[in-house]
Amino acid sequence: MKLLAFVSTIDLKYGLGCTPSWWQLLKALHETGNEVIVVPYLGGAVESLWWRTYENSCKLESILYNNFLKSHRKVADPSKPNEFLSTIAKNLINLDIKPKIKKQLTDIITKEKDLDFILFMNIPLNHITGIPSELKNEFGISCLYYDGDMPTILPKYAMSRGFKFDYYVNSDLSEYDAFFVNSKGVIEDLKEAGAKNVTPLYYAADADFFAPVNVEQTIDVSFYGHGSELREEWMTNMISNPSKRLPDVNFSVGGDNFGIDMGNAKLIGPVSYSAFREFCCKSKINLNITRWSHTNIYASATARPFELAAYGACIVSQPYKGIEDWFEIGKEIIVVNSEDEAVETYEWLLSSDEERLKIGERARQRILKEHTYRHRAKTIIEVCKLCN
């Protein structure tokens, strides 16, 4: 099939968490026999071996708006929906951005002639309200949407998560022929909001890129993440306090913006995408500590457990509703329910190289069997065929 992917951004420099996953999914769509065309919503176009691009028709506006949001650091308040978008921003969107987007998508569809569908990927829904319906009526083309920020992008979580605006206010979910989400637990919420044909599309891993490397394991227990908000309890239970109770165990934490006491863990700061693999593979135990909004809403996927499993890592996780949908607890991933369990589990695993290797290998085999981005790409194509 031939598809146009209208993506939040394709440039890694903007630091949006979904972007590395977009690269892997678009690559997988190409590898499974589809022709992929990409248009970014934020920033410029980035060419690759797996897709071709059209330049962003709102490149300047998108960069200025992104810089404005970053500089003001104002967090959305769900109790005041009218404040999500200022009058100036609304006018910019309705009078400048939406017309440009509509014209560009229309021009691309006309030029390409044989597009099968458009996949909108984390585009602010209320910035494009009406455009999918117009394109469907004019060209008969299927419009699909994929939101990888569930559940934290929903209005009731936007404030606690720190999102600066809510793109569900004044949107029309019924415009899309299919709606993909990374969380099974929000499906009913989205159906009530008007979404049709809602399908879970979890994160995954490119098993070639996220492949283990043979390096000396000099780190006993590691964690990588950005920000401690919404995961303070389990960072304390799995890192801060255990690092004090196990003085001979080497804890190493990558990332930044940790607002809690990290105990005796070594803080190494942000790690580049290219260095992330070595950091994980150098670790005997890799921790999965996810924000409570994900762990408490059933089967709300993040990329991290899939990436770690693809590396063949021995993963220890906090309690996580629905994680059993992806991995077999006790064989492919270890779940601890308290600080004491974490300490006991670390001592057990660090005493047995063989057990760690077995857990990691079983986790990687599960990825290869069910959780690569080629699996996710096939799901998109199957759903799209049913829409046509």
The DSSP annotation for 30-82 comes to HHTT-EEEEEESSS-----SS-EE---TTHHHHHHHHHHHHHH-PPP-TT-GG
In a 3-state reduction of DSSP, which class is residue 226? strand
Q: At which residue do the structure tokens 């929000």 appear? A: 186
DSSP state of 186: G
Pairing between β-strand 52-53 and β-strand 35-40 as defined by DSSP bridges:
parallel
Cα 232 from Cα 309, distance rounded (Å):
24
Nearest Cα to Cα of residue 200 among 321, 304, 299, 328: 299
Contact 201, 218 (CB under 8 A): no
Residue 226 pairs with which residues in a beta bridge? 256
Residue 324, judged by CB atoms within 10 A of its CB (0-12, 13-18, 19+), counts as: middle
Residue 244, number of CB atoms within 10 A of its CB: 13
Cα 270 from Cα 331, distance rounded (Å):
30
Query: In percent, how much of the chain has pLDDT > 90?
Result: 80
Q: At which residue do the structure tokens 């890129």 appear? A: 209
Cα 369 from Cα 383, distance rounded (Å):
20
Split at pLDDT 50, 70, 90, the class of 303 is very high
For the segment 182-220, what is each residue's pLDDT rounded down to a tens digit? Answer: 999 999 999 999 999 999 999 999 999 999 999 999 999
Q: CB-based contacts of 101: which residues, under 8 Å, 6+ apart?
A: 57, 58, 127, 128, 131
What is the pTM (predicted TM-score) of this model? 0.92
Cα 371 from Cα 229, distance rounded (Å):
28
pLDDT at 13: 86
Contact 318, 288 (CB under 8 A): yes
| Residue 214, φ and ψ in degrees, nearest 5 | -85, 95
Radius of gyration of the chain (CA): 21
Q: Is the pLDDT of residue 325 over 70?
A: yes
On the question of a common fold for 2-204+373-387 and 219-370, the answer reads yes
Which of 95-104, 139-148, 318-327 shows the lowest mean pLDDT across its residues?
95-104
Give me the residue spans of the domains in the chain. 2-204+373-387, 219-370
Split at pLDDT 50, 70, 90, the class of 84 is very low
Q: Is the pLDDT of residue 166 over 80?
A: no
pLDDT mean over 335-357: 98
Indicate the average pLDDT of the chain. Answer: 91
pLDDT mean over 230-236: 96
Pick the CATH number of 2-204+373-387 from 1.10.150.530, 3.30.565.10, 3.40.50.2000, 1.20.58.100: 3.40.50.2000
Look at 382 and 167; give whichever has higher pLDDT. 382
Q: Is the pLDDT of residue 158 over 90?
A: no
CA angle in degrees (0–180, nearest 5) for 38-126-296:
90
pLDDT at 165: 52
Cα 350 from Cα 342, distance rounded (Å):
12
For the segment 348-384, what is each residue's pLDDT rounded down to a tens digit? Answer: 999 999 999 999 999 999 999 999 999 999 999 999 9
pLDDT at 305: 98
C-alpha distances out from residue 152 to 97, 140, 195, 290, 365, Å:
25, 33, 17, 12, 30
User: Which residues in 273-348 belong to E strands, given as ranges?
Assistant: 283-288, 315-317, 334-335
Q: Is the pLDDT of residue 163 over 70?
A: no
pLDDT at 157: 66
In a 3-state reduction of DSSP, which class is residue 218? coil
CA angle in degrees (0–180, nearest 5) for 148-31-8:
30
Nearest Cα to Cα of residue 304 among 329, 321, 323: 323
pLDDT at 72: 60
pLDDT at 358: 98
The CATH homologous superfamily of the domain defined by 219-370: Glycogen Phosphorylase B; (3.40.50.2000)
Both tokens of 30, joined, read 């190409």
pLDDT at 76: 47
Contact 12, 20 (CB under 8 A): yes
Q: Is the pLDDT of residue 339 over 90?
A: yes
Pairing between β-strand 117-121 and β-strand 142-147 as defined by DSSP bridges:
parallel
For the segment 91-139, what is each residue's pLDDT rounded down to a tens digit? Answer: 778 878 899 999 999 999 999 999 999 999 999 998 999 999 999 999 9
Cα 83 from Cα 172, distance rounded (Å):
19
Q: Is the pLDDT of residue 237 over 90?
A: yes
Split at pLDDT 50, 70, 90, the class of 161 is very low
Cα 358 from Cα 314, distance rounded (Å):
8
pLDDT at 85: 52
Helix (H) or strand (E) holding 356: helix 353-370
Contact 340, 295 (CB under 8 A): no
Residue 181 pairs with which residues in a beta bridge? 147, 200
Cα 148 from Cα 22, distance rounded (Å):
10
Q: Is the pLDDT of residue 90 over 80?
A: no
